[in-house]
Amino acid sequence: MTVSGPRRDTRGIVDAAELFARVRFRRDEPAPELRPYVDNYWFIDWDLSAPYASHVVPHPSVNVVFQRQGEGSSGTASGEVAGIGLDLFTKKLMGVGRVCGVKFRPGGFRPFAPARPVSAWTGRRVPLDEVFTGTGDASVAAVLTPETDHARVAALDAFLLTHGPEPDPQAAQAMALVDLVRTDRTIRRVSELARAQGLSSRSLQRLFANCVGVGPKWVILRHRIHEALERAEPAEAEGSLDWAGLAAELGYSDQAHLVRDFTATVGVSPTVYARRLSAP
């Protein structure tokens, strides 16, 4: 299945081909005024004859998630704010269901919930009304009920524009710094990022805690693992991946360090992961 929407990469999805073979997965763009803060909207619908467990290595992003298990009005619906997950996220899908999600840019959630540092939500999944007061079943139904992606996008736009955003220069600075980490592979250490921006390491840590939700070292490491995961899939389909070369490209001192971080994050070694991808 081809992923639609503004982003085409599969970064963070463990065995993306297997997931796309079992569910309908799409991405779409928010309204123009929300794009500085929101990376994308993502939609998953499924109708499974047997349970399936999906696995994701979380991004340094907060998500707002609307989900329904079961068909139509007979299903169980809920909404939640999902702070940055520190560990591999596993979701068991069964029967019929739907998820509509908002993936914020790292730092982009802060302007919608400025009362607390974003780190307050890290590692937590909390009911929607705990963060956005006044939301209830009607807000959840407005997003999950429409049958077209166009209508769901409009409902998500309306929800977010009702709750912000409040301009926040610190959040804007944090978003720019995370973009720099993602695109500039010469940034391999927190001290290098702080020096490049004229900040002390302590100020940088404080900025990330308040606006991103995790520290800059965590962000640097997570982008490395996402890159390794995405590079593994097409490489294994074609033959093999030069893990030693990839380790050097990602700034590791040797392959062993990449293997250690990959295994700790994904739960299996690169060799085992590659074997799974190549299995018929």
pTM of the model as a whole: 0.88
Write down the pLDDT at residue 182.
Answer: 86
Q: How many residues can be counted in the chain?
A: 280
DSSP secondary structure string, 31-86? Answer: -GGGTTTEEEEEEEEEE-SS-EEEEE---S--EEEEEEESSGGGSEEEEEEEPPPS
For residue 105, give the nearest of 212, 187, 185 by alpha carbon. Answer: 212
The domain locations on the chain are: 16-162
Alpha helical stretches, state H, the chain: 16-22, 128-131, 137-144, 149-162, 169-183, 190-197, 201-211, 216-238, 243-249, 255-266, 270-278
* pLDDT confidence of residue 33: 95
Provide the pLDDT for residue 72.
66
Architecture of the domain spanning 16-162: Sandwich (2.60)
pLDDT along the chain (280 residues), means of 10: 51 86 95 96 95 92 95 82 93 94 97 95 94 89 94 97 92 93 82 86 93 94 85 60 83 86 85 68
Q: What is the pLDDT of residue 8?
A: 65
